[in-house]
Amino acid sequence: MLNAIFGLFSHDLGIDLGTANTLIHVRGKGILIREPSVIAIHKKSKKVLAIGQEAKNMIGRTPASIIAVQPLSAGVISDFESTEKMLKYYIEKVHQSSSRLPKIPRPRVVIGIPSTVTEVEEKAVIDAAKSAGARKAYLIEEPMAAAIGAGLDVLAPRGSLIVDIGGGTTEVAIISLGGIVSSMSLKVAGYEFDQAIADYIRYNFNLLIGAKTAEDVKIRMTNLSPISKNTNEKDTVNALSGESVDNMVVRGRNLKTGLPEEIKIDSNDITEALKRPIQIIIDGIKDVIENTAPELVSDVIKSGVVLAGGGALLKGLPELMSAQLNTIVSVAKDPLTCVVRGCAIVLEDKGLMEKVVRG
Protein backbone atom coordinates (compact mmCIF):
# COMPACT_ATOMS: atom_id res chain seq x y z
CA MET A 1 0.00 0.00 0.00
CA LEU A 2 2.79 2.37 0.94
CA ASN A 3 4.61 1.63 -2.33
CA ALA A 4 1.43 2.40 -4.26
CA ILE A 5 1.11 5.77 -2.51
CA PHE A 6 4.78 6.55 -3.18
CA GLY A 7 4.27 5.62 -6.82
CA LEU A 8 1.67 8.37 -7.20
CA PHE A 9 4.17 11.06 -6.30
CA SER A 10 7.68 9.79 -6.98
CA HIS A 11 9.09 10.12 -10.46
CA ASP A 12 10.09 6.54 -11.25
CA LEU A 13 13.02 6.36 -13.64
CA GLY A 14 14.19 4.19 -16.49
CA ILE A 15 17.97 4.56 -16.82
CA ASP A 16 20.28 3.61 -19.65
CA LEU A 17 23.59 3.79 -17.81
CA GLY A 18 25.82 3.55 -20.84
CA THR A 19 29.57 3.76 -21.28
CA ALA A 20 29.17 6.73 -23.63
CA ASN A 21 25.87 8.32 -22.59
CA THR A 22 23.39 8.27 -19.73
CA LEU A 23 19.71 8.56 -20.63
CA ILE A 24 16.94 8.88 -18.05
CA HIS A 25 13.23 8.45 -18.77
CA VAL A 26 10.85 9.89 -16.18
CA ARG A 27 7.49 8.16 -15.87
CA GLY A 28 4.80 10.26 -17.47
CA LYS A 29 7.24 12.88 -18.72
CA GLY A 30 9.52 11.17 -21.24
CA ILE A 31 13.30 11.34 -21.63
CA LEU A 32 14.53 14.31 -19.58
CA ILE A 33 18.23 13.48 -19.33
CA ARG A 34 20.43 12.67 -22.34
CA GLU A 35 24.03 13.43 -21.43
CA PRO A 36 27.51 11.93 -21.90
CA SER A 37 28.60 9.62 -19.06
CA VAL A 38 31.46 11.91 -18.06
CA ILE A 39 32.28 13.67 -14.81
CA ALA A 40 34.97 16.31 -14.16
CA ILE A 41 36.51 16.34 -10.69
CA HIS A 42 39.12 18.48 -8.94
CA LYS A 43 41.99 16.12 -8.15
CA LYS A 44 42.82 17.47 -4.69
CA SER A 45 39.44 18.46 -3.23
CA LYS A 46 37.43 15.77 -5.08
CA LYS A 47 34.83 18.45 -5.78
CA VAL A 48 32.62 17.79 -8.82
CA LEU A 49 33.16 20.58 -11.35
CA ALA A 50 30.98 19.41 -14.23
CA ILE A 51 28.84 16.47 -15.33
CA GLY A 52 27.61 15.43 -18.76
CA GLN A 53 28.27 17.45 -21.92
CA GLU A 54 30.12 20.19 -20.06
CA ALA A 55 32.49 17.59 -18.59
CA LYS A 56 32.94 15.85 -21.95
CA ASN A 57 34.03 19.14 -23.50
CA MET A 58 36.86 19.20 -20.96
CA ILE A 59 38.37 15.86 -22.03
CA GLY A 60 41.89 16.41 -23.32
CA ARG A 61 41.78 20.08 -22.31
CA THR A 62 42.07 20.00 -18.51
CA PRO A 63 45.01 21.24 -16.40
CA ALA A 64 46.77 18.79 -14.10
CA SER A 65 44.49 19.74 -11.20
CA ILE A 66 41.31 18.59 -12.98
CA ILE A 67 40.42 15.14 -14.30
CA ALA A 68 37.54 14.39 -16.67
CA VAL A 69 36.67 10.71 -16.42
CA GLN A 70 34.17 8.22 -17.78
CA PRO A 71 33.12 6.21 -14.71
CA LEU A 72 31.87 3.26 -16.75
CA SER A 73 33.93 0.94 -18.90
CA ALA A 74 32.42 -1.65 -21.27
CA GLY A 75 29.01 -0.99 -19.74
CA VAL A 76 30.02 -1.68 -16.11
CA ILE A 77 31.10 0.58 -13.26
CA SER A 78 34.84 1.13 -13.10
CA ASP A 79 34.70 4.14 -10.76
CA PHE A 80 31.97 3.61 -8.14
CA GLU A 81 32.26 6.98 -6.43
CA SER A 82 32.06 8.96 -9.66
CA THR A 83 29.12 6.87 -10.91
CA GLU A 84 27.27 7.47 -7.65
CA LYS A 85 27.86 11.23 -7.89
CA MET A 86 26.74 11.31 -11.50
CA LEU A 87 23.54 9.35 -10.80
CA LYS A 88 22.76 11.44 -7.71
CA TYR A 89 23.16 14.63 -9.73
CA TYR A 90 20.77 13.42 -12.44
CA ILE A 91 18.17 12.03 -10.02
CA GLU A 92 18.13 15.28 -8.05
CA LYS A 93 17.98 17.27 -11.29
CA VAL A 94 14.92 15.34 -12.46
CA HIS A 95 13.06 15.83 -9.18
CA GLN A 96 13.95 19.49 -8.79
CA SER A 97 12.91 20.39 -12.33
CA SER A 98 9.75 18.34 -12.62
CA SER A 99 7.93 18.77 -9.32
CA ARG A 100 6.61 21.58 -7.15
CA LEU A 101 6.05 19.35 -4.14
CA PRO A 102 8.32 20.18 -1.19
CA LYS A 103 9.44 16.58 -0.65
CA ILE A 104 9.21 13.75 -3.16
CA PRO A 105 9.48 10.07 -2.20
CA ARG A 106 12.57 8.41 -3.57
CA PRO A 107 11.99 6.84 -7.01
CA ARG A 108 12.07 3.27 -8.22
CA VAL A 109 14.55 2.81 -11.03
CA VAL A 110 15.07 0.22 -13.74
CA ILE A 111 18.63 0.21 -15.10
CA GLY A 112 19.92 -1.47 -18.25
CA ILE A 113 23.11 -3.55 -17.82
CA PRO A 114 25.20 -5.73 -20.20
CA SER A 115 24.04 -9.34 -20.40
CA THR A 116 27.34 -10.77 -19.15
CA VAL A 117 27.89 -8.76 -15.96
CA THR A 118 28.92 -10.60 -12.81
CA GLU A 119 27.02 -10.61 -9.50
CA VAL A 120 29.63 -8.24 -8.07
CA GLU A 121 29.09 -5.81 -10.97
CA GLU A 122 25.31 -6.10 -10.57
CA LYS A 123 25.62 -5.23 -6.88
CA ALA A 124 27.80 -2.24 -7.73
CA VAL A 125 25.09 -0.83 -10.03
CA ILE A 126 22.33 -1.40 -7.45
CA ASP A 127 24.40 0.10 -4.63
CA ALA A 128 25.26 3.14 -6.75
CA ALA A 129 21.60 3.71 -7.62
CA LYS A 130 20.45 3.39 -3.99
CA SER A 131 23.26 5.61 -2.73
CA ALA A 132 22.23 8.16 -5.35
CA GLY A 133 18.67 8.25 -3.99
CA ALA A 134 16.71 5.35 -5.48
CA ARG A 135 14.12 3.67 -3.25
CA LYS A 136 14.34 0.42 -5.17
CA ALA A 137 16.64 -0.54 -8.03
CA TYR A 138 15.91 -3.21 -10.62
CA LEU A 139 18.27 -4.41 -13.34
CA ILE A 140 17.40 -5.50 -16.86
CA GLU A 141 19.76 -6.87 -19.46
CA GLU A 142 20.41 -4.26 -22.15
CA PRO A 143 19.46 -6.46 -25.13
CA MET A 144 16.14 -7.27 -23.45
CA ALA A 145 15.48 -3.58 -22.74
CA ALA A 146 16.50 -2.67 -26.30
CA ALA A 147 14.17 -5.30 -27.75
CA ILE A 148 11.26 -4.02 -25.65
CA GLY A 149 12.06 -0.42 -26.60
CA ALA A 150 12.24 -1.43 -30.26
CA GLY A 151 8.69 -2.78 -30.07
CA LEU A 152 9.51 -6.50 -30.23
CA ASP A 153 7.14 -8.92 -28.49
CA VAL A 154 9.66 -10.46 -26.10
CA LEU A 155 7.04 -12.66 -24.41
CA ALA A 156 5.97 -14.37 -27.63
CA PRO A 157 7.00 -18.02 -28.26
CA ARG A 158 9.24 -17.05 -31.16
CA GLY A 159 12.81 -15.93 -31.60
CA SER A 160 13.77 -12.27 -32.02
CA LEU A 161 17.37 -11.23 -32.68
CA ILE A 162 18.42 -7.84 -31.32
CA VAL A 163 21.86 -6.24 -31.78
CA ASP A 164 22.50 -3.24 -29.54
CA ILE A 165 25.68 -1.39 -30.63
CA GLY A 166 26.52 1.06 -27.86
CA GLY A 167 29.61 3.02 -26.95
CA GLY A 168 31.53 0.39 -24.99
CA THR A 169 29.82 -2.89 -25.85
CA THR A 170 27.75 -4.57 -28.53
CA GLU A 171 25.04 -6.80 -27.11
CA VAL A 172 23.74 -9.60 -29.34
CA ALA A 173 20.81 -11.70 -28.12
CA ILE A 174 18.07 -14.01 -29.30
CA ILE A 175 14.99 -13.57 -27.12
CA SER A 176 11.95 -15.82 -26.72
CA LEU A 177 9.23 -16.24 -24.06
CA GLY A 178 10.55 -13.36 -21.96
CA GLY A 179 14.09 -14.72 -21.68
CA ILE A 180 17.43 -14.55 -23.45
CA VAL A 181 18.06 -17.87 -25.17
CA SER A 182 21.50 -17.13 -26.60
CA SER A 183 23.62 -14.03 -26.22
CA MET A 184 27.06 -12.50 -26.54
CA SER A 185 28.57 -9.28 -25.22
CA LEU A 186 31.37 -7.89 -27.38
CA LYS A 187 33.76 -5.18 -26.25
CA VAL A 188 33.70 -3.82 -29.77
CA ALA A 189 31.40 -0.86 -30.32
CA GLY A 190 31.44 2.91 -30.83
CA TYR A 191 34.70 3.62 -28.99
CA GLU A 192 36.43 0.77 -30.81
CA PHE A 193 35.26 2.30 -34.11
CA ASP A 194 36.73 5.66 -33.09
CA GLN A 195 40.03 4.05 -32.09
CA ALA A 196 40.20 2.10 -35.36
CA ILE A 197 39.81 5.35 -37.32
CA ALA A 198 42.46 7.14 -35.22
CA ASP A 199 44.86 4.19 -35.64
CA TYR A 200 44.30 4.04 -39.40
CA ILE A 201 45.04 7.76 -39.82
CA ARG A 202 48.08 7.46 -37.58
CA TYR A 203 49.60 4.53 -39.45
CA ASN A 204 48.74 5.69 -42.96
CA PHE A 205 49.14 9.46 -42.69
CA ASN A 206 51.49 9.84 -39.69
CA LEU A 207 48.88 12.09 -38.11
CA LEU A 208 47.83 11.88 -34.47
CA ILE A 209 44.18 12.86 -33.91
CA GLY A 210 42.03 12.98 -30.78
CA ALA A 211 39.04 10.83 -29.87
CA LYS A 212 36.60 13.66 -30.57
CA THR A 213 37.99 14.16 -34.09
CA ALA A 214 37.79 10.40 -34.77
CA GLU A 215 34.17 10.35 -33.60
CA ASP A 216 33.27 13.28 -35.87
CA VAL A 217 34.89 11.53 -38.83
CA LYS A 218 32.98 8.32 -38.06
CA ILE A 219 29.62 10.09 -37.90
CA ARG A 220 30.12 12.24 -40.99
CA MET A 221 31.93 9.93 -43.38
CA THR A 222 31.11 6.27 -42.71
CA ASN A 223 29.45 4.45 -45.59
CA LEU A 224 29.48 0.66 -45.27
CA SER A 225 27.10 -0.16 -48.11
CA PRO A 226 28.21 -3.20 -50.15
CA ILE A 227 28.73 -2.55 -53.86
CA SER A 228 26.54 -5.47 -54.83
CA LYS A 229 23.82 -7.34 -52.95
CA ASN A 230 24.85 -10.54 -54.71
CA THR A 231 28.42 -10.72 -53.43
CA ASN A 232 29.61 -13.58 -51.26
CA GLU A 233 30.93 -13.09 -47.73
CA LYS A 234 34.52 -12.32 -48.77
CA ASP A 235 33.45 -9.95 -51.52
CA THR A 236 31.11 -8.17 -49.15
CA VAL A 237 33.93 -7.35 -46.77
CA ASN A 238 36.10 -6.15 -49.67
CA ALA A 239 33.19 -4.02 -50.84
CA LEU A 240 33.75 -1.84 -47.80
CA SER A 241 36.50 -0.10 -49.78
CA GLY A 242 34.08 0.86 -52.57
CA GLU A 243 34.51 4.24 -54.20
CA SER A 244 33.09 7.35 -52.60
CA VAL A 245 33.41 11.05 -53.31
CA ASP A 246 32.91 12.10 -49.68
CA ASN A 247 35.97 13.71 -48.13
CA MET A 248 36.90 15.69 -45.07
CA VAL A 249 39.80 17.78 -43.76
CA VAL A 250 41.27 16.34 -40.56
CA ARG A 251 43.62 18.26 -38.27
CA GLY A 252 46.14 16.82 -35.85
CA ARG A 253 49.84 16.57 -35.01
CA ASN A 254 52.34 15.21 -37.52
CA LEU A 255 54.23 12.38 -35.81
CA LYS A 256 57.44 13.04 -37.76
CA THR A 257 57.72 16.81 -37.38
CA GLY A 258 55.72 17.24 -34.19
CA LEU A 259 53.94 20.19 -35.81
CA PRO A 260 50.23 20.80 -36.50
CA GLU A 261 49.06 19.51 -39.87
CA GLU A 262 45.84 18.99 -41.81
CA ILE A 263 45.12 16.30 -44.37
CA LYS A 264 42.19 15.38 -46.57
CA ILE A 265 40.72 11.89 -46.26
CA ASP A 266 37.79 10.26 -48.04
CA SER A 267 35.22 7.67 -47.08
CA ASN A 268 37.34 4.88 -48.57
CA ASP A 269 39.82 5.44 -45.75
CA ILE A 270 37.12 5.25 -43.11
CA THR A 271 35.45 2.12 -44.43
CA GLU A 272 38.87 0.48 -44.66
CA ALA A 273 39.56 1.46 -41.05
CA LEU A 274 36.26 -0.01 -39.85
CA LYS A 275 36.49 -3.34 -41.64
CA ARG A 276 37.96 -5.26 -38.73
CA PRO A 277 35.68 -4.09 -35.85
CA ILE A 278 32.56 -4.39 -38.02
CA GLN A 279 33.55 -7.91 -39.03
CA ILE A 280 34.03 -8.87 -35.37
CA ILE A 281 30.43 -7.84 -34.67
CA ILE A 282 29.10 -9.74 -37.68
CA ASP A 283 31.04 -12.84 -36.64
CA GLY A 284 29.60 -12.48 -33.13
CA ILE A 285 26.07 -12.44 -34.53
CA LYS A 286 26.86 -15.59 -36.52
CA ASP A 287 28.16 -17.30 -33.38
CA VAL A 288 24.95 -16.49 -31.48
CA ILE A 289 22.85 -17.86 -34.35
CA GLU A 290 24.97 -21.02 -34.51
CA ASN A 291 24.33 -21.66 -30.80
CA THR A 292 20.56 -21.34 -31.16
CA ALA A 293 17.92 -24.04 -31.72
CA PRO A 294 16.86 -24.45 -35.39
CA GLU A 295 13.26 -23.49 -34.63
CA LEU A 296 14.34 -20.12 -33.27
CA VAL A 297 16.76 -19.58 -36.17
CA SER A 298 13.80 -20.13 -38.49
CA ASP A 299 11.94 -17.36 -36.64
CA VAL A 300 14.92 -15.03 -37.03
CA ILE A 301 15.06 -15.68 -40.77
CA LYS A 302 11.39 -14.67 -41.00
CA SER A 303 11.53 -11.60 -38.77
CA GLY A 304 15.12 -10.53 -39.44
CA VAL A 305 17.68 -8.79 -37.25
CA VAL A 306 16.90 -5.51 -35.46
CA LEU A 307 19.70 -3.02 -34.76
CA ALA A 308 19.64 -0.61 -31.82
CA GLY A 309 22.14 1.76 -30.20
CA GLY A 310 24.18 4.57 -31.73
CA GLY A 311 26.16 2.19 -33.94
CA ALA A 312 22.95 1.27 -35.76
CA LEU A 313 23.05 4.74 -37.34
CA LEU A 314 26.23 4.03 -39.31
CA LYS A 315 25.35 4.46 -42.98
CA GLY A 316 25.18 1.19 -44.89
CA LEU A 317 25.55 -1.08 -41.85
CA PRO A 318 22.14 -2.82 -42.25
CA GLU A 319 22.85 -3.57 -45.92
CA LEU A 320 26.31 -4.93 -45.15
CA MET A 321 25.01 -7.17 -42.37
CA SER A 322 22.09 -8.36 -44.48
CA ALA A 323 24.48 -9.44 -47.24
CA GLN A 324 26.51 -11.55 -44.81
CA LEU A 325 23.72 -12.91 -42.61
CA ASN A 326 21.31 -13.82 -45.42
CA THR A 327 18.36 -12.21 -43.68
CA ILE A 328 16.65 -8.85 -43.35
CA VAL A 329 18.45 -6.34 -41.10
CA SER A 330 16.52 -3.28 -39.99
CA VAL A 331 17.15 -0.35 -37.67
CA ALA A 332 14.80 0.25 -34.74
CA LYS A 333 12.93 3.53 -34.52
CA ASP A 334 15.12 6.04 -32.64
CA PRO A 335 17.81 3.41 -31.91
CA LEU A 336 19.71 5.64 -29.49
CA THR A 337 16.84 5.53 -26.97
CA CYS A 338 15.70 1.90 -27.29
CA VAL A 339 17.24 0.76 -24.00
CA VAL A 340 15.90 3.63 -21.89
CA ARG A 341 12.46 3.38 -23.49
CA GLY A 342 12.47 -0.35 -22.79
CA CYS A 343 13.30 0.35 -19.14
CA ALA A 344 10.40 2.83 -18.98
CA ILE A 345 7.95 0.33 -20.50
CA VAL A 346 8.95 -2.27 -17.92
CA LEU A 347 8.29 0.20 -15.10
CA GLU A 348 4.70 0.59 -16.32
CA ASP A 349 3.98 -3.13 -16.76
CA LYS A 350 4.08 -5.13 -13.53
CA GLY A 351 3.62 -8.47 -15.32
CA LEU A 352 6.45 -7.74 -17.74
CA MET A 353 8.67 -6.53 -14.90
CA GLU A 354 8.24 -9.80 -13.00
CA LYS A 355 9.46 -11.73 -16.05
CA VAL A 356 12.42 -9.68 -17.30
CA VAL A 357 14.08 -7.79 -14.42
CA ARG A 358 16.66 -8.76 -11.84
CA GLY A 359 16.79 -7.45 -8.28
pLDDT tens digits, one per residue of 280-304 = 999 999 999 999 999 999 999 999 9
Tell me the per-residue pLDDT of 203-228, one tens digit each, with 9 for 90 and over.
Answer: 999 999 998 899 999 999 988 876 43
pTM of the model: 0.86
* Mean pLDDT to the nearest integer, 315-340: 95
pLDDT at 202 over 80: yes
Distance (Å, rounded) from C-alpha 299 to C-alpha 314? 26
Same domain, 86 and 223: no
Number of domains making up the chain:
3
State how beta strands 108-113 and 13-17 pair.
parallel
**Spatial CB neighbours of 232, under 8 Å, sequence gap ≥ 6:** none
Could you tell me the CATH number of the domain that includes residue 204?
3.90.640.10
- Distance in angstroms (rounded) separating the CA atoms of residues 235 and 227: 9
Cα 281 versus chain centre, distance: 14
How far apart are the C-alpha atoms of 98 and 161, rounded to whole Å?
A: 37
Helix, strand, or coil here: 189? coil
Instruction: Give the mean pLDDT of 89-98.
Output: 75
Give, in order, the Cα–Cα distances in Å from 177 to each of 25, 154, 340.
26, 6, 21
Residue 132 placed within a domain: yes
Q: Which helix (H) or strand (E) holds 108?
A: strand 108-113
Listed residues 256, 274, 292: the one ending a domain: 274
- Which of 359, 293, 352 lies closest to 154 in space, CA to CA? 352
- 315 and 178 in a single domain? The answer is yes
